[in-house]
């Protein structure tokens, strides 16, 4: 027995809503600042900007950017 037409429509709308919710979750996650470290063995680690290691990494990166900006002007 084929599904009732309203069921097909509800399933389609539900699928679109699930995809939209997943997109918003991915977008929200990707907009948070973080530092990702890659190690020689292929492992990687993410550090949020408010974690201990994240603060240190962001400070080091800011120093490198500042230094690079000074060399470009000279």
Number of domains making up the chain: 2
- Sign of the CA dihedral 47, 52, 53, 55? positive
The DSSP output letter for 2 is P
DSSP string, 3-19: PPHHHHHHHHHHHHHHH
The residue segments making up the domain with residue 70 are: 33-74
What is the tens place of the pLDDT at every residue in 3-48? 666 677 777 778 888 888 888 777 766 677 888 889 999 999 988 8
Q: What is the pTM of this model?
A: 0.50
52 and 25 fall within a common domain: no
55 and 21 fall within a common domain: no
Closest residue by Cα to residue 49 from 65, 62, 40 = 62
- Sign of the CA dihedral 15, 17, 18, 24? positive
- Cα angle at 52 between 47 and 55, to 5 degrees? 75
């Amino acid at each position: 027995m084929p599904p009732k037409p309203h069921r097909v429509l509800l399933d389609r709308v539900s699928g679109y809503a699930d995809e939209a919710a997943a997109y918003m979750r991915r977008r929200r996650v990707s907009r948070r600042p973080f530092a990702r470290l890659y190690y020689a063995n292929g492992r990687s680690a993410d550090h949020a900007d408010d974690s201990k290691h994240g603060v240190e990494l962001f400070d080091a990166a800011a120093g490198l950017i500042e230094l690079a900006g000074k060399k470009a002007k000279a």
